[in-house]
Amino acid sequence: MAENAPADFYRTQENPGLWEHRGKVAAVGIGHSPTARRWDGQASTSIGAWAMVAIRNAIEDAGISPSDVDGLVLDRSTTTGAWWPEGDPLPEDVISQFQPGIEPFDGIAALSSEWILNNMPELDNVSFSMYGPGCMSNVICVAAEAIGRGLANTVVLLKAWHNFPGRYYQGGANARPLVEGPAVWRNPWGVSAATGDGWTFQEYMAKYGKTHDMMAPFIVEEKKNGLMFPEGFFAQHRPDEVTVEDYVNARWIVEPMNLFDHDMPIHVAVAYVFTTAERAADMAQTPVYILNHGTTRPKFGLTQGLDNAEASTDSTGRKMLDGAGITSDDLSFENMYEGFTTFHNYFIEGLGFAGIQRGEALDLYAGDISITSDKPVSPSGGNQGGGRTRIWMHTDTIQQIQGRAGDRQIRVPAEIGISGGPMPQGGDFTIWSSTPD
Amino acid sequence: MPKQSPVPDELTQPFFDACNEDRLVVQRCNECTELDGLLMLQHPPSEECRRCGPHGTLEWHEVSGRGRIQSYVTMYDTPVASLQEDQPFNIAVVELWEDKNALFLSHLPGTPVREVPMGAEVRVVFEVTPANGQKVAEWEVVGD
Ligand SMILES: [Zn+2]
């Protein structure tokens, strides 16, 4: 029975020192399922079925046999915010087509390690299994640490997101006349998921004299990069470019954040294969070595505010670069999270990416940040370019360093990259490299 | 604007009782305040002092009802059904005058959307919510 990774799997220390397993763990395989806006109710497109597609693709990509895999690290939660509607009958016709897991929604709205192993008998050598709850960023930290510590040799990593019909957040507690619990401080004022980031960005604009329109070049570039990502939702289903005019005229959701500052939930599964640096040498793909992984924990409170966003991303930048033994100049590109676009700036300022300081990210966006520039910004296109997964940043970073990012391949040598998220106030991050030292 | 009505629980009852008497109270940590000479206030309330944790004893403390606008947004697409008719509307973050770590939300009644003065002084007012009559703290910009 798999459990959540213990706290000491995450490198949260302020001055962590070089990661003791630096360069000894490598990514060697990538597997994506198709994408869909929402699940269509068929067994073959259920999140369980697509998780198996992603895992099989990743194993094939690494050029290994399923029996070579001895570890499985995943996030058992698959929700994008959508839950199986309360009181609706379970889709028994779909469930009956799979081996059972350990919970009623396994394979439909959750994925336990038992469900995966029961439905993939070819994974017959898995002796280590662990959860990295949150998103792929957590799963990567846990898998890297597990291999580094010798708990497993060759690990499949999995993160899947189910999406069901219907609009989120609109029913339930938000439709009732009374409110209880911690929501009493927020709900009566009608806050949405993005409201906190809206407050922070408003403070940012006021402090540094910036405007929302200055975000436009970043969004345009993200969308462009996303359309060059064949695994992504928009490249597959809505291949439309977004112009500066589209962005500045888009409807406000919660000003200063408009439609294009929000990401769109999709249905997808993604898997990777990680192994030791020694074993990676014999596999099909160029290994991408992990120089460091690190974690910043959010503080709790009604809002986080700009002071805290800046302090937290300073801390993330410091601990990631120091723990990898590099400086920000060594980063060939960056893929920090942008699931609300207006917080990507705090991350790259905290890293000092392309030599910028606090308050300068939007000025950087005004120059060349494309894949042909000297310092490409978010070549993955992120959630904006690919749909809500918090995964494109990692897939792209691995592909860039392997030199197989296709049309998105950056023009400067892709030697060292950074990816991770989700929140500026807290998240999990990885530094990747073409060489182990 | 017809806000959802809060249902107080054990932790929040003193705050909401005070609102119903048009008084603003927040948690104060006695240890931080008396031993370290800090006026350590916090809001929303919690079980522990955010500075000294389980060492602190928290007491409800009446405050001036003055504050400052830390930030704001204009909401066009709220998930809360009862407020949708009034869109767009302000949602501001208000810092308490005595301690900027004590935070409240506000619709800033009387201030038109997109005319919110960042950093301006505000004062508390108490507003009745329709479903159960519970009052909540709201904030108005102090005129010049
Ligand atoms: Zn205290």
Q: How many CB atoms lie within 10 A of CB B112?
A: 8
Contacts of B130 in chain A (CB under 8 A): 177
What is the pTM assigned to this prediction? 0.96
Say yes or no: B54 contacts chain A, CB-CB below 8 A. no
Say yes or no: B137 contacts chain A, CB-CB below 8 A. no
Task: Give the distance (Å) from ligand 1 centre to CA of residue A203.
Answer: 28
Closest Cβ–Cβ partner in B8, B75, B80 for A187: B80
What is the separation of C-alpha A15 from the centre of its chain, rounded to a whole number of angstroms?
Answer: 24
Q: Which residue ranges make up each domain of chain B? A: 13-141
Q: Beta strands A71-74 and A128-131: pairing type?
A: parallel
Task: Give the distance (Å) from ligand 1 centre to CA of residue B29.
Answer: 5
Q: A212: distance to nearest CA of chain B, Å?
A: 13
Cis? peptide before A239, omega within 30° of 0: no
In degrees, rounded to 5, the angle at the alpha carbon of residue A248 between the alpha carbons of residues A245 and A254 is 150
A196-264+288-437 has the same fold as A7-167+265-280 = yes
pLDDT of B143 reads: 80
Section A329-352 average pLDDT: 98
Range scoring the smallest mean pLDDT among A28-42, A260-274, A359-373, B32-46: B32-46
Asked if residue A70 lies in contact with residue A126, where contact means CB atoms within 8 angstroms, the answer is yes
Task: Give the distance (Å) from ligand 1 centre to CA of residue A185.
Answer: 22
- Residue A12, token pair as written in the block: 């949260």
Cross-chain residue pair A305–B91, CB shorter than 8 Å: no
Asked if residue A41 lies in contact with residue A167, where contact means CB atoms within 8 angstroms, the answer is no
Looking at residue A268, what DSSP letter applies? E
Residue type at position A249:
N
Instruction: Classify domain A196-264+288-437 by CATH architecture.
Output: 3-Layer(aba) Sandwich (3.40)
pLDDT at A171 over 70: no
- Reported ipTM: the value is 0.97
pLDDT of A173 reads: 82
Closest Cβ–Cβ partner in A169, A180, A206 for B7: A180
- What is the percent of chain A with per-residue pLDDT over 90, rounded to a whole number? 91
pLDDT at B82 over 80: yes
Could you tell me which residue, A73 or A104, shows the higher pLDDT?
A: A73
* Contacts A–B by Cβ distance under 8 A: 121
pLDDT at A369 over 60: yes
Range scoring the smallest mean pLDDT among A167-176, A419-428, B36-45, B90-99: A167-176
**In chain A, positions 138-197, which contact chain B (CB-CB < 8 Å)?**
168-170, 174-182, 184-192, 195
pLDDT of A250 reads: 98
Say yes or no: B128 contacts chain A, CB-CB below 8 A. no
Preferred mutation among A168, A178, A184, A189 to probe B, highest tally of B CBs within 10 A:
A189
In CATH terms, is domain A7-167+265-280 a member of 3.30.230.10? no
pLDDT at B25 over 70: yes
pLDDT of A368 reads: 98
pLDDT-derived band of residue A5, with 50, 70 and 90 as boundaries? very high
Section A216-237 average pLDDT: 98
User: Chain B: residue nearest A182 by CA?
Assistant: B44
Using alpha carbons, select from B68, B61, B64, B51 the residue that is nearest to residue B27.
B61
Section B22-40 average pLDDT: 89
Could you tell me which residue, A302 or B80, shows the higher pLDDT?
A: B80
Could you tell me which residue, B51 or A436, shows the higher pLDDT?
A: A436
Radius of gyration of chain B (CA): 16
Phi, psi of A143 (to 5 degrees): -65, -40
* Rounded-to-integer distance, Cα B25 and Cα B41, Å: 10
Q: B23: distance to nearest CA of chain A, Å?
A: 17
Could you tell me which residue, B39 or A190, shows the higher pLDDT?
A: A190
Closest Cβ–Cβ partner in B12, B71, B80 for A199: B71
Section A351-369 average pLDDT: 98
pLDDT of A167 reads: 57
Closest Cβ–Cβ partner in A170, A203, A251 for B71: A203
Section B57-67 average pLDDT: 95
Render B86-144 in DSSP notation, one character per residue: G-SEEEEEEEESS-TTBEEEE--TTSPTT---TT-EEEEEEEE-TTT--EEEEEEEPP-
pLDDT per position as a tens digit, A123-146: 999 999 999 999 999 999 999 999
- Residue A218, token pair as written in the block: 């970043």
**In chain A, positions 223-282, which contact chain B (CB-CB < 8 Å)?**
251-257
Say yes or no: B12 contacts chain A, CB-CB below 8 A. yes
Q: Which of helix, strand or coil describes residue A274? A: strand
Determine whether A119 is exposed, middle or buried from the number of CB atoms within 10 Å of its CB (0-12, 13-18, 19+). Answer: buried
Helix H segments across A261-381?
A: 277-280, 305-324, 344-351, 361-366
* Half-sphere exposure in the Cβ direction for A192 (13 Å, CA): 26
Using alpha carbons, select from B119, B113, B109 the residue that is nearest to residue B140.
B109
Using alpha carbons, select from A418, A121, A387, A399 the residue that is nearest to residue A266.
A387
Q: How many residues does chain B have?
A: 144
pLDDT at A170 over 70: no
- Residue B112, token pair as written in the block: 């038109």
* Rounded-to-integer distance, Cα A420 and Cα A334, Å: 10
Mean residue pLDDT of chain A comes to 95
pLDDT of A169 reads: 55
- Residue B39, token pair as written in the block: 């006026």
Determine whether B69 is exposed, middle or buried from the number of CB atoms within 10 Å of its CB (0-12, 13-18, 19+). Answer: buried
pLDDT per position as a tens digit, A25-53: 999 999 999 999 999 999 999 999 999 99
pLDDT-derived band of residue B144, with 50, 70 and 90 as boundaries? low
pLDDT-derived band of residue B50, with 50, 70 and 90 as boundaries? confident
pLDDT at B37 over 80: no
Preferred mutation among B4, B48, B76 to probe A, highest tally of A CBs within 10 A:
B4
Contacts of B89 in chain A (CB under 8 A): 190
pLDDT at A298 over 90: no
CA–CA distances in Å: residue B19 to residues A70, A105, A237, B128:
59, 43, 52, 9
Task: Give the distance (Å) from ligand 1 centre to CA of residue B49.
Answer: 5
pLDDT of A390 reads: 96
pLDDT per position as a tens digit, A391-412: 999 999 999 999 999 999 999 9
Q: Which residue ranges make up each domain of chain A? A: 7-167+265-280, 196-264+288-437
**In chain A, positions 348-377, which contact chain B (CB-CB < 8 Å)?**
none
pLDDT of A361 reads: 98
* Half-sphere exposure in the Cβ direction for A239 (13 Å, CA): 7
Say yes or no: A303 contacts chain B, CB-CB below 8 A. yes
- Residue A69, token pair as written in the block: 């895999």
Looking at residue A410, what DSSP letter applies? -
Cis? peptide before A66, omega within 30° of 0: no
pLDDT-derived band of residue A237, with 50, 70 and 90 as boundaries? very high
* Rounded-to-integer distance, Cα A32 and Cα A12, Å: 30
Task: Give the distance (Å) from ligand 1 centre to CA of residue A301.
Answer: 15
Say yes or no: B7 contacts chain A, CB-CB below 8 A. yes
* Rounded-to-integer distance, Cα A246 and Cα A250, Å: 6
Cross-chain residue pair A187–B129, CB shorter than 8 Å: no
Asked if residue A388 lies in contact with residue A376, where contact means CB atoms within 8 angstroms, the answer is no
Residue type at position A67:
S
Could you list the beta-strand ranges (E) of A62-212: 71-74, 128-131, 154-161, 178-179
pLDDT-derived band of residue A428, with 50, 70 and 90 as boundaries? very high
- Residue A372, token pair as written in the block: 């042909």
Q: Which of helix, strand or coil describes residue A63? A: coil
Task: Give the distance (Å) from ligand 1 centre to CA of residue B40.
Answer: 7
pLDDT-derived band of residue B107, with 50, 70 and 90 as boundaries? very high
